[in-house]
Amino acid sequence: MDKVAVIPQFDHISIQCRDLDTATAWYCAFLGCEVSWTLDTFSATTHERLPGIRELRELVVADFRLHLFNRAHVPETVVSPHEAQYQHLCLSVVEPQDLLTLRDRWMRLASSGLYQFASSAPPSGIVTDSDGVQSLYLLDPNGLELEFTWKPAIRSEL
C-alpha cells in the first residue's frame, strides 16, 4: 500500500459566540483583528452541523484568522469543563514582554465595561517552565481559554 503524506496547514479556528458583537469587538480591540467578511446565508450541510446558525464573521490579523459565529436558541451559559470542547488555543508571541502587554490589554479591556464576559476570572500571571518557556493564560468573552507563549528557542532562531 502506498503511503501518501498529507501535511495539513492551519487555516482558521471557529468559535461559537454567546454575543457575536461583543466577541467581534473584543478580538478586534485585543488582537487588532479586522473583519474580513461576513456571511448570513448557509448551505444545508452547515445548517445540519450548526442548527440555528445566524451569522459568521471572519476576523484577520496578519496570517491569523478567526471565524466567529452565533446561533439561535443556544444557551448563553459557559460550557462545563467536563463537556467535550477544546481545552485551549495557544498563540506564540515574538518577545517575552508581549505577554505583559497582552495581560495589561486584557485587564484594561475587561475593566472598560465595554465587554460582557462569561467568566470574571482574571488572566494568569506569567508562568515560566523549566525550559524558560513563558506562558500567559486568559479567557475570551465566551469563557474560552487562550494561551500566549514565548519560547526562547524560537527567539534564538530568528
What's residue 155's pLDDT?
A: 47
Stronger pLDDT, 68 or 78, i.e. the higher one = 68
For residue 38, pLDDT beyond 70: yes
Mean pLDDT of the chain: 89
Same domain, 69 and 111: no
What's residue 6's pLDDT?
A: 83
Cα 138 to Cα 104: distance, rounded to the nearest angstrom: 11
What's residue 85's pLDDT?
A: 67
For residue 146, pLDDT beyond 80: yes
Lowest mean pLDDT among 3-7, 37-41, 116-120, 141-145: 3-7
Same domain, 48 and 101: no
Q: In terms of residue numbers, what domain contains 25?
A: 10-73
Partners of 57 in the β-ladder: 38, 68
Sign of CA dihedral 149, 63, 78, 20: positive
Cα 57 to Cα 128: distance, rounded to the nearest angstrom: 35
Stronger pLDDT, 112 or 2, i.e. the higher one = 112
Same domain, 24 and 60: yes
For residue 46, pLDDT beyond 70: yes
Q: CATH number of the domain at 133, please.
A: 3.10.180.10
Q: What is the pLDDT of residues 89-107, one digit of tens each?
A: 999 999 999 999 999 999 9
Q: Minimal CA–CA distance to 30: which of 135, 108, 121? A: 108
What's residue 123's pLDDT?
A: 97
For residue 80, pLDDT beyond 70: no
Same domain, 68 and 93: no
Alpha-carbon distances, residue 52 vs 79, 139, 143 (angstroms) = 18, 25, 21
First CA to last CA distance, the chain: 40
Q: How many percent of the chain have pLDDT more than 90? A: 71
DSSP string, 47-73: HHHSTTEEEEEEEEETTEEEEEEEETT
Same domain, 96 and 69: no
